């Protein structure tokens, strides 16, 4: 009786506490700081994009859509879009395929598997800046590792200045990004592959499914949600990458590796045209938000299918 009474009181008390201020106290620091540091600059950026900002006279004038009109009619912007699409294509296709390849390898039981799994983490653990530097060494025209390798194997007579060539520069900056994303993709896909129950394969074998059929209808089907997410992460990175490209080429040679993010940097921090910079930011933000929304929709849909 007394115990039941005590239980009831404490339950009431708990309800009282729960409903009042605890949740707000728990969430306040996160929400307030996120509003100050992320949302308010976001709103400011949107406002800037409709303004002409004169830094010298410290004057901000509202000019409507002028920045966007200027942006969408400039050849530079469309060039950046085109370059960025090519860049993103490499950053999506290479890491997704290679990541799947390495993940499939590392569920296999063989001597060296744990070395492989550990080594896989390495690129992911490196800062983008370092990855840019590493790939600079790989493609350097005088002492690059790739030139050295090709020379040692007798495939070239003299070193190739890769980064002076517009196409090679774009390919190799994208490969640097792909290098780290391959690890990221493989880690995620490996984790998904490890959850496939072995008896699914056995059952399929009994039913006479060949290796290709088993790969397609069991492996791929099982990891499809993860694969979707890997794809979308890689797409987002394909549009947000800046650091590694900046270290390697700063957008060059010429404008060959001028991604949208590099264009944004040029407007904001080299030309100090903050209004145009903000407009580019918002366009870039809309692209990645769009990708993010697709991601949310796809995951919700797949959850709905499963439940």
User: Residues 34 to 63: which contact other proteins by CB under 8 A?
Assistant: 34, 36-42, 44-45, 48
CB of 128 to other proteins, least distance (A): 6
* Element housing 272 (H / E): none
CA distance 176 to 165: 16
Binding to other proteins by residue 26, rule CB under 8 A? yes
- Sign of dihedral through CA atoms 231, 235, 240, 243? positive
Binding to other proteins by residue 23, rule CB under 8 A? yes
> How far is residue 116 from each of residues 61, 111, 122, 140, 187, measured CA to CA in Å?
57, 10, 10, 28, 11
Binding window for other proteins (CB under 8 A); candidates: 58-66, 85-93, 198-206, 292-300: 292-300
Binding to other proteins by residue 229, rule CB under 8 A? yes
Member of 68, 151, 201, 222 binding other proteins (CB under 8 A): 151
> How far is residue 162 from each of residues 93, 130, 138, 155, 245, measured CA to CA in Å?
22, 19, 10, 15, 15
User: Residues 176 to 195: which contact other proteins by CB under 8 A?
Assistant: 179, 182-184, 187-188, 190-192
In the chain, the largest separation of any two C-alpha atoms, in whole Å, equals 94
Binding window for other proteins (CB under 8 A); candidates: 68-76, 79-87, 148-156, 165-173: 148-156
Binding to other proteins by residue 205, rule CB under 8 A? no
CA distance 45 to 284: 12
Member of 85, 89, 121, 203 binding other proteins (CB under 8 A): 121
Binding to other proteins by residue 108, rule CB under 8 A? yes
Binding to other proteins by residue 77, rule CB under 8 A? no
User: Residues 235 to 254: which contact other proteins by CB under 8 A?
Assistant: 236, 239-240, 242-243, 246-247
3-state secondary structure 192-211: HHCCCCHHHHHHHHHCCCCH
Backbone angles phi, psi at 54, to 5 degrees: -100, 100
Binding to other proteins by residue 18, rule CB under 8 A? yes
């Amino acid at each position: 009786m007394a115990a039941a009474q005590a239980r009831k009181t404490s339950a009431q008390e708990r309800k009282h506490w729960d409903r009042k201020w605890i949740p707000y106290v728990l969430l306040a620091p996160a929400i307030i700081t996120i509003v100050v540091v992320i949302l308010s600059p976001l709103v400011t950026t949107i406002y800037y994009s409709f303004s002409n900002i004169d830094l010298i006279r410290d004057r901000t004038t509202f000019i409507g859509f002028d920045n966007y009109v200027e942006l969408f009619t400039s050849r530079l912007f469309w060039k950046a879009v085109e370059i960025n699409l090519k860049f993103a294509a490499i950053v999506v296709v290479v890491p997704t395929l290679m990541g799947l390849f390495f993940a499939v390898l590392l569920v296999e039981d063989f001597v060296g598997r744990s070395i492989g799994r550990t080594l896989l983490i390495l690129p992911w653990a490196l800062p983008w800046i370092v990855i840019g530097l590493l790939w600079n060494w790989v493609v350097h025209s005088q002492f690059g590792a790739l030139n050295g390798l090709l020379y040692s194997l007798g495939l070239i007579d003299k070193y190739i200045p890769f980064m002076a060539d517009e196409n090679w520069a774009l390919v190799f900056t994208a490969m640097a990004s792909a290098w780290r994303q391959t690890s990221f993709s493989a880690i995620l896909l490996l984790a998904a592959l490890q959850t496939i129950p072995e008896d699914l394969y056995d059952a399929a074998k009994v039913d006479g499914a060949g290796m290709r059929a088993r790969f397609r209808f069991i492996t791929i089907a099982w990891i499809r949600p993860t694969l979707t997410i890997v794809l979308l992460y890689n797409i987002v990175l394909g549009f947000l990458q800046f650091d590694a490209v900046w270290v390697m080429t700063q957008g060059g040679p010429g404008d060959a590796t001028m991604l949208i993010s590099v264009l944004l940097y040029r407007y904001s921090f080299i030309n100090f045209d903050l209004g145009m910079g903000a407009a580019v930011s918002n366009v870039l933000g809309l692209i990645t938000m769009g990708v993010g929304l697709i991601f949310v929709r796809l995951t919700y849909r797949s959850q709905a299918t499963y439940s």
